Structure 1
Amino acid sequence: MPSATDLQTSRGPSSGARYEWVDALRLVAAVAVFVQHSFESSGLTFLNAIPPAISPGVFGVVLFFLISGFVMPLSARGSFNIPQFALRRIFRIIPGVLFCYALLLIVPSLVPPHHLSWLWTAGWKTWAANLLLIQDYVGAKAFLGVTWTLSLEFAWYGLFALCWQWRGERSIDLLCKAATVLMVLVTVVSLILEHRAPMGRLGMIYAAIIGAQSYRWIGGAISGKRMAAWAAVFLLVMMFANVVAFGYFTNPRITFAQSFWPWLIAPAIYFAGVVLAGRRETGRVTAVMARFGKVSFSIYMLHSIALGGTFWIEDDILRIVTALVVTLLASFVMYRWVELPGIAMGRHLARRVGDRWNRRQRAFT
């Protein structure tokens, strides 16, 4: 998930300013997830009523995947090969995950034993599942709840890399068509078989694909009318999928309202940002938000740890404010000392792999 800062480093000084809106929207997404989890853990009635009504957490995750879709073709411009791409993506995500797992091992020494102490006794299978980010699919207990999205993120990376290697930017059109047909088909089959399908998770990948298509519009590869048509189709398909998955069927953790409104509001805000960016109308506020948005991944990963570490504060408002301050401070530390070195290492290894690949190519010619 390269930020505008990362893009500025790799694409020149102008592109960093051009894509500040990406980091600004990331900040919105990260704060929305923080709001969800902080309100859920609050004892205040008026705060507890917000997540069941609109689910800001789902909104934030949908927004994250739309953004992730946009930045993938942006980061893949120029020479591309899958090993280099994989190394950059792995070292963009995994160092932060390992850092947070390390924090979770330290936290039990700061809070009563019943908080997170089970990590010390978790078996190797649980550790392996969490390190591979497949805990949700093998029935293992998650060390950190927010990591469920990272397995989907890597699934998107893999799908994108294979398609981009195959047909480059033209593959985005094919992905949009295939994803639309697949979403409708799975939803209809779900109805016929009377069996609920995980439409929300499939929808995240679909959102990333539509985000990639919006990059093509920004770059002038497709017209505004065509992009508007794809956006409308995406909204209609996701409304249909959500009506079936969360209305006709039920989910013990997410209500129909919690799925419907986020999938409507998040794309609306995202496409508004895309349109404003296309017109170069993002402004100074976006630039300020982007400074905090560059640490959005750290905010996303660290906020639940901060909320857990401040459980001893009895006043709910004070606890939420304290957790927010701790999250922001820790996020800048993690970004500076974990994320940036990880990004640099990924680029270094990718260059070495690229140099080796080029030498082999020259040897065969």
Structure 2
Amino acid sequence: MPPTPRMAWLDGLRAVAVLLVLYAHLSRYVLTDARAVTAEWLHAGPAGVMLFFLVSGYIIPASLERHGNLRRFWIGRAGRLLPLYAVVTVAVVALGLYRPADPATAAVAHATMVPFLLGEPLAIPVFWTLAYEMGFYLLVTALFAVRLQRADAFMAVLLTVAAVLTAPLAPQAIRTPYAVVVLVAGLAAVLSGRRRVAIAGGVVLGGLALTLAVTGSGPSHAWDGLLIVAVMFTGTTIYRADSGQTGWWPVAVVAPLVAAGLLANWLAELASLDALTPRYVARSVLTLLVFAGAFAIGRLTRRRRTPPWLATIGVISYSVYLTHYVVLLLMRPILGHDAMAVAYVAVVLAVSWVTHRYVELPGQRWARRMSDVWDQPQRVSRPHAPVRG
């Protein structure tokens, strides 16, 4: 299956998202004066990752429908995500930046890409977002397996209501071996090509994903873990309307509801910390407006030409996201002056270009070859989906 054209506006949004995250981490060491001002009014890191989640929610169902079957989708996801993820994990171990207490359990947990939701220490902190991405993939797979792929708006509403009613969660992490067995069994079932077995596997994967989101979010996301998944389903709801599969009324219901849920839980978290001040309330509102507004502006201006430099950063954004923190750890001893911020960004972009060219792209080519070899008539609904995942 030949690759479909990229949509530059989505690459532009990815670039904005990753630059927000990069600024949030870098400004702990340089640009501290700027951070002292901006951090009072904007959570740059959460705004960036929430924008990533919204974009993922928009493109992942399109990717599945474009592939046409679950096997192609999962091979594509594996080729897209796993090579660089594995290289970065091995690199931080080799550099002595990650020394797990139980290497075997850590290796198994990281192989699932959901170590954060299993309570395992992460090789690098930014891996936490990939756990929610994987949970979303599992839920989307489950919905397609049971032929409820248009239930995204319902899922967004359900998760938002559940998040508001149950927060804060009191997570008790699932043991890694049990989660791995369920994950492997569920994926094997949905990829089997047998209708009834696939339905059973979908139910298993959906149950696992929801259980992980509820019981594995940990203290850092006890207030918004379920809402993260709701944000991704909001992106899917927008995609359905954009592609003509639904009207715009589901978006008109879902988007304000999820935004209200996020704001309600963020403010409740502030109250629990005795930090419900006007300034911090404003910061929560602005953080919401930044990522939601960026997505809205990107979509509304999608027919205009995205600046090439921004689109280029978007193309390599996965590499930037996974490598920037490793580079930060390595360069931290020399980040003593604000001028070093330019050098740091230059190094990150150079490293990311290399890893995109020599790790990501070969992985994607491998996935396309494997999809052609293992292409079975396991078709799903395929409306027009011009988006590349």
Short-chain TM bin: 0.7 to 0.9
CA contact (8 A) 1:29 1:60 kept: yes
Distance of aligned partners of 1:352 and 1:124 in 2 relative to their CA distance in 1, 3 Å threshold: same
Give, in angstroms, the shift of residue 328 of structure 1.
0.3
Equivalence map 1:246-325=2 (5 Å): 246-250=269-273, 259-277=284-302, 280=303, 282-285=304-307, 287-325=308-346
Distance of aligned partners of 1:132 and 1:167 in 2 relative to their CA distance in 1, 3 Å threshold: closer
Distance of aligned partners of 1:226 and 1:121 in 2 relative to their CA distance in 1, 3 Å threshold: closer
Query: Distance between the aligned counterparts of 1:189 and 1:125, measured in 2?
Result: 25
TM-score by length of 2: 0.75
Comparing 94-103 with 137-146, which one deviates more in the overlay? 137-146
Q: State the Cα deviation string for residues 176-215 of structure 1 (Å, max 9, x = none).
A: 332333233324999xxxxx87232222111110001111
Distance of aligned partners of 1:187 and 1:342 in 2 relative to their CA distance in 1, 3 Å threshold: same
Distance of aligned partners of 1:177 and 1:105 in 2 relative to their CA distance in 1, 3 Å threshold: closer
CA contact (8 A) 1:218 1:274 kept: no
Residue aligning to 2:354: 333
TM-score by length of 1: 0.79
Q: State the Cα deviation string for residues 238-260 of structure 1 (Å, max 9, x = none).
A: 2122222x2232399xx766654
Matched residue pairs, number? 327
Distance of aligned partners of 1:331 and 1:251 in 2 relative to their CA distance in 1, 3 Å threshold: farther
Greater RCO, 1 or 2 (C-alpha within 8 Å, sep 6+): 2
CA contact (8 A) 1:36 1:57 kept: yes
User: Which of 372, 377, 381 is equivalent to 1:351?
Assistant: 372
Residue 23 of structure 2 corresponds to residue 35 of structure 1: yes
Equivalence map 1:1-365=2 (5 Å): 10-11=3-4, 15-16=5-6, 19-42=7-30, 44-51=32-39, 53-78=41-66, 80-108=68-96, 116=97, 118-119=98-99, 123-167=103-147, 169-187=149-167, 198-244=222-268, 246-250=269-273, 259-277=284-302, 280=303, 282-285=304-307, 287-355=308-376
Query: Distance between the aligned counterparts of 1:95 and 1:284, measured in 2?
Result: 28
Distance of aligned partners of 1:107 and 1:322 in 2 relative to their CA distance in 1, 3 Å threshold: farther
Identity %: 22
**What amino acid is the match of 2:261?**
V
CA contact (8 A) 1:80 1:165 kept: no
Structure 2 regions of 5+ residues with no counterpart? 171-218, 380-389
Give, in angstroms, the shift of residue 223 of structure 1.
3.1
Give, in angstroms, the shift of residue 146 of structure 1.
0.2
Query: Distance between the aligned counterparts of 1:66 and 1:89, measured in 2?
Result: 17
Query: Distance between the aligned counterparts of 2:329 and 2:315, measured in 1?
Result: 24
Q: State the Cα deviation string for residues 146-180 of structure 1 (Å, max 9, x = none).
A: 00111110000010111123336522233233233
Greater helix content: 1
Distance of aligned partners of 1:125 and 1:256 in 2 relative to their CA distance in 1, 3 Å threshold: farther
Give, in angstroms, the shift of residue 70 of structure 1.
0.4
